[in-house]
Structures are given as structure tokens and as C-alpha cells.
Structure 1
């Protein structure tokens, strides 16, 4: 099963996105609909709302008067939080029930308007954000929902802004064009990413980044790492393990394979082989076969043991290295990254090597092995730098 979080500001066209995904076969869990259900007449949710806010939030038929309630909580932070505590708890419980009831091979799309505001992004395999120009949203809200412009502006201002939503977006869908354009983008997303992603998660299959192709520096690599790290932290909770962005994508301005390297520090390899491995696989980070990645390092043939996981997402290759805290390989990964970030000349020399090897040894295994002699020599410089500067992991 693949869990997809869908969000976007009011008037962005998120409902049109949800409808198209359902047409393609997704199972939709609509948080707005559930929020209405859990406070419908006769529910304990409505009873608690009335107990907190009084019967003035009821209409003549005894149903919730949403406009009256909105007037009470919109400018009162404490009141809004009390309401969210009542509604969100019940919505989460009902969401869990619906997800559990979905088929094992489903792509479950959870439409959550306040996904960013309540911090739900790390709970999904993928987050899709619908982004639309504010002017377009205002036009839709006044035309299609009968809002006054002032009310529409107030509603937009009360939600997370575009920058906050973009920060959690694995997929940023721009919806300023026609419905046909939106459908074309969604169909590509469905067939090229969501369907194979679900299949990979279910079969514990990681994406392999072959052959080696260097791409120019991507300023979003650190942001992509942050999203992945948050997902990993959620998956391994309550364990509180160190996570670091390592490798070339962690070095500003350096061309690299478009693979995010992450190091997860574990107490022992037994811990890495235990339930932790299953939780990572469930979150979309299955283990890679050992014969594919386990090469001698450094020179001398010693194996610096680790466990390597990858990503089930076909559009975002990841190498997740599980190394024992304090082990030689763990220290080496952190030291070499800090050393190269601190020395632009050595970083430039590394880039020259990378370009030469990418052209002559495009296979991932050969590329990695061919870098070993350079790194063996550079490691000596890094240790000298560490001693000189007092570096510690």
C-alpha cells in the first residue's frame, strides 16, 4: 500500500486533483468529509463541541452551525486549538480505520487541507501539494463559493503560505492552467510514479541508480534530504537515532549523481537487522541486496560493515547507510564530508575526478571502486585537517 498526502490552499483546486486520482484508481480518504462526519448530529464529537462552545454553535435543527463556530475560533487561537483537539483526534482515528480497510495494493490518497499546519507530512510515503496563484484562488472562491473578496482573503491568510507547503512537497502541482493540463500532469504522476512506487513498497524493492550520470548542483537537495530524514525519523520512532546528510549532494555547488545519501547511526548491526529494517521498508526504504553494494573500503580489503537501504520511489533514488555509531565507516563518512565542505580546492579536485570517472566508468559499481585510490589519499589529508582543527564527529 502507498500512502499519499494531498494538500493545497483553499481554492487551489485540490478537489479536482483528488477526483482525477480516484478516477485512475486511488482510494480517497477525505479529511474534510470526515471532519463533518465526526460532528454530525447525534455524535459524541458534536456533544463535546457544544459542551466547550455552548449551544450558540448549533442551528435551528440542532446541527453544527459552521459559520457561527468559525466566527468564534478564527481570531481566537486558544479556541481554535480546543476545537482542533476535539475534531482532529476523531478524524485521525477514522482515517486509520479507512486506511486499514483499503486493499493491500491500494494507492491511498489522504486529502488533508491542514496537512502542513498539523505536521502530518512525514507520515506519508509521498506528499503532493497543489499550488495556485493567489489571484486565481480569490477568483475561484468568489465565483464558485460565493465568498466576499474580504472573506476569501481572510481564509487564505489563515492557512500556511505557499513557501511552507512547498517545503513538504515531494510533488508540487501547479494548477493555474486548464483542467486538461491538470489531468495530463496527474495521469503522468499516476502511471510514472505512484503505481510503480506502490508496487515497489509492497514488494520491498528499492530503486537502483544506474548508470552513473552527474547532474549539476541542485539547490533543493538539502530540502529533499530534510523531507526524507523527517520520514525516517517518523518511521523509527520512538528510537531517537542520529541522521546525517552525507555524500556529494550534501556539498553545496558540487555536481553529483542525483542520489540522496543519508547516514542513520545505529547502536549495533543487530539493531539494523531487527525490527528497524522492517519499519524502514514499510516507510519506503527497503534494504538493497548486499552483493550489489558491499565493496572493500578502504585499501587493504577490510570491509567496513554497514547495512544499505534504498528508496522505493522511482523518482527519488536514495542510499540510506546504516552504520554503527563510532565505527570507522561512520566516522569516515562524517569526516570526509566536513573536510571537503571546508576546503573548496579539494572539493574542486574531487569534482574533476568525478567527471572523468563518470565518462570512463559509468557503471555504479565500477565508478565507486575507481574513486577508492583518490579517497585513500584524501583521507590522510582529512585526518591532518581534523587534528589541526580539533574536528569531532
Structure 2
């Protein structure tokens, strides 16, 4: 679905969209035959932030409504691709399962606009200057495709992306989650941005039903080697709320998993005064995206498991010695699981080795909380 084509459709002669533009920007944006003079409109709208805001205020609701109708009409087994030039500027990334940015260097963008579209260079540069920066686009991109080369140079990357999307779509339809073997990899600086995008996506899906959403676990600790799986925690007011979120999360690409084999530290019941094991209960979902495995833990606000997930992350960030100790036990656990080929069985083996370490870690975290006065940051 091409947002540019939809944008043209909603301002055809006789449409309310074109009438609204003429009222806002004047009849001089119309050609003699009544069609929109796009160059005249661009000259008025793209050199001024306020004018561009008025333009978007007219067009975006119309484009959104038409797009929603097309999505609703798509066959159930479709992979729906939406080409949205202003997705980053509109901060719409969280609405989608995956965001792909197709990048071209500024000089090449200008050349193509001038040579292929007949645009004046000054107009081309003004339009580019009004758009998101490359840094903003990188921050929004789950997938970055560099299209600065020849037409066929991008083919392998596009084919790989299509294979990922096709598998992702089938996984969502069949409630299948992406699993991998519990192998440790060196810390990836991209984990922070990947976690932030997933947090934003989950916040959008859960809306007011989430008290907070956080990136937790080892991938949230800078410099710590970990399994290449992003762990996230949705905090809710009750397990009933967690259950009510299940369908929404599944449709968004996070099916529920009943047999929990995630990396889920849980100290022995009774440590720290929590004698009721049900206070560690949660709901668990995982990502269906084969290109970005993720675990989603849903816990109740203030319960020991919810509190421990946040304090354990911050404790590791603050204590280099504890971080090194944790890494050592993780390496031992990964080595123990390395000979198991089945992902579920390997994860179970990994946890068998690692979980006992958390009994002592829990006590040390509680002592650290007492000494530092730690409280969760604003989620």
C-alpha cells in the first residue's frame, strides 16, 4: 500500500480533501482543469513548519482512513506492506510489526529528484531538509536497506527480508514463537535501540492496560555478553489484565507461551520474606519474528518478580564485580547446553545450571537496594 498513491487519491477533483486544501492554501494551488498543482502546494507547504503542519493536519486523517479500509479488505493470509514516506516524522513506527527504512545518501536523493522527477534543486533540498534526519531514521529502523547503488544490488537483501516477513506472518497465524539455542554472544550495541523499539511497540499495543513496559535482562546491561534474545517486561495491575492482553499481543506478533522455558531468574520461595510462591506468577509471551527473538514477561505491579526484574538489571549495571560473576555462571550454563540440539531442551539445561545462582544473588540485590535506596526509574 503506497501512501503517496493514497495521498493522491484523497485529493482528486471533487473530493473533500482537495476542497479543504484549496480553502487552507488558496485557489492558486489548483490547475485550470481543477486538479491539484502539486508544485504550487509544495512551494507553500514545504518551506514553513506551520504550513506543513496544516497540510499534514488535512491529509493525514484522510490517508489514515483510506489505508485502514484497504488493510481491512486485505485477505487474512496477506503480508501487508505499507510504504509511508513520513512514517518517522509522524512517529508511527510502534503501530507496525516491523519498520524498514530504505536509505539513499542526500547527494543521490537530490540527483534523482532533479534528474528523474524534474524538480528544481532548491525545491529538492528544501523537501529533504523538512524530512527526518538519517539518525532519526536509523533509530526507527528495524531493518536498514541501503539503496544508493544499482537497481539489482539490493536484490539479495530484499529477498532475505521477504523470507523473514513470510515466516513471521506464518508464525503469527499459527501462534509460533521464534526460538534459538542458548548460545552466548558478545554484547551488541544495537540491543539498546532494538529493546527501545520493542518497548514502544508493546506500549502501543497495551495502551492504558500497561502500568509500564521495560527492557530487562542481560541485553539491557551495556557490555554484558548474552543470548541474542531481548527480554521485556510489561507491568500490569493484575493477572486478569495480563490474560485480557493475550489476543492483542498475539495479533501484534507476540503469541502466548504456556510452557515457560525463557531465561527467567526466580530465587527460592521464601527468600526476602515472600513466602507465597504465587506472588512470582506471571504470563509469558514471545516474539514470532525470526529476525528478532524476544521474550515478554507480564508481571503484576509491586509483586516480587516484577520488582526483582528491574532491580536485578540495575544492580548488574551498577556492580561490575557482580556482572562478571553473573557472566561466568552464564558461560558455564551455555557450555552445559551446547551439546543439545533442541532449542527447548537446551534452554532447560541452561536454566538448570544457572538458576541456583539466583538464590544468593537475590539476597545480594536486596542488600544493595537497602544500601542504595534504589527505586524503579520512571517506566
TM over 0.5: yes
Matched, 1:56 2:28: yes
In the alignment, which residue of structure 1 is the partner of 2:320? 344
Q: Deviations over 1:302-328 (max 9, x none)?
A: 462111100010111111000111111
- Shift of the alpha carbon at 1:364? 0.9
Residues 29 and 40 of structure 2 are in contact (CA less than 8 Å); yes or no, is this contact kept in structure 1? yes
Residue among 312, 322, 325 paired with 2:298: 322
The separation in 2 between residues aligned to 1:325 and 1:139, in whole angstroms, is 54
Q: Which runs of 5+ in 2 are unaligned?
A: 271-276, 339-345
The separation in 2 between residues aligned to 1:392 and 1:223, in whole angstroms, is 24
Q: Give the secondary structure class of the aligned counterpart of 1:237.
A: helix
The separation in 2 between residues aligned to 1:139 and 1:353, in whole angstroms, is 55
Residue among 72, 91, 100 paired with 1:119: 91
In the alignment, which residue of structure 1 is the partner of 2:226? 256
In the alignment, which residue of structure 1 is the partner of 2:246? 277
Residues 46 and 127 of structure 2 are in contact (CA less than 8 Å); yes or no, is this contact kept in structure 1? no
Q: Which runs of 5+ in 1 are unaligned?
A: 1-28
Matched, 1:32 2:19: no
- Shift of the alpha carbon at 1:369? 2.6
In the alignment, which residue of structure 1 is the partner of 2:156? 184
The separation in 1 between residues aligned to 2:260 and 2:362, in whole angstroms, is 25
In the alignment, which residue of structure 1 is the partner of 2:45? 73
CA RMSD of aligned residues (A): 1.7
Q: Deviations over 1:253-292 (max 9, x none)?
A: 0000001001110111111112x11111111111112254
Q: Give the secondary structure class of the aligned counterpart of 1:326.
A: coil
- Which one has more relative contact order, counting CA pairs under 8 Å at least 6 apart? 1
Residues 260 and 284 of structure 2 are in contact (CA less than 8 Å); yes or no, is this contact kept in structure 1? no
Matched, 1:201 2:172: yes
Residues 265 and 296 of structure 1, relative CA distance in 2, 3 Å threshold:
closer
- Shift of the alpha carbon at 1:294? 9.9
- Shift of the alpha carbon at 1:381? 1.3
Residue among 130, 140, 150 paired with 1:168: 140
Structure 1 residues 48-57 or 309-318, which shifts more? 48-57
Q: Give the secondary structure class of the aligned counterpart of 2:235.
A: strand
- Shift of the alpha carbon at 1:49? 1.3
- Shift of the alpha carbon at 1:125? 0.6
Note the 1:123-162 alignment, pairs <5 A.
123-162=95-134
The separation in 1 between residues aligned to 2:331 and 2:18, in whole angstroms, is 64
Structure 1 residues 216-225 or 371-380, which shifts more? 371-380
In the alignment, which residue of structure 1 is the partner of 2:273? none
Q: Give the secondary structure class of the aligned counterpart of 2:223.
A: coil
- Shift of the alpha carbon at 1:147? 2.6
Residue among 89, 113, 119 paired with 2:61: 89
When the two structures are superposed, what TM-score results if normalisation uses the length of structure 2? 0.91
The separation in 1 between residues aligned to 2:315 and 2:46, in whole angstroms, is 50
Q: Deviations over 1:62-99 (max 9, x none)?
A: 11111111111222222221221111111000000001
When the two structures are superposed, what TM-score results if normalisation uses the length of structure 1? 0.88
Residue among 182, 191, 201 paired with 1:221: 191
Q: Give the secondary structure class of the aligned counterpart of 1:119.
A: coil
Q: Deviations over 1:345-378 (max 9, x none)?
A: 1101111221122112241112123112221112
Residues 284 and 312 of structure 1 are in contact (CA less than 8 Å); yes or no, is this contact kept in structure 2? yes
Residues 54 and 296 of structure 1, relative CA distance in 2, 3 Å threshold:
closer
Residue among 342, 350, 364 paired with 2:347: 364
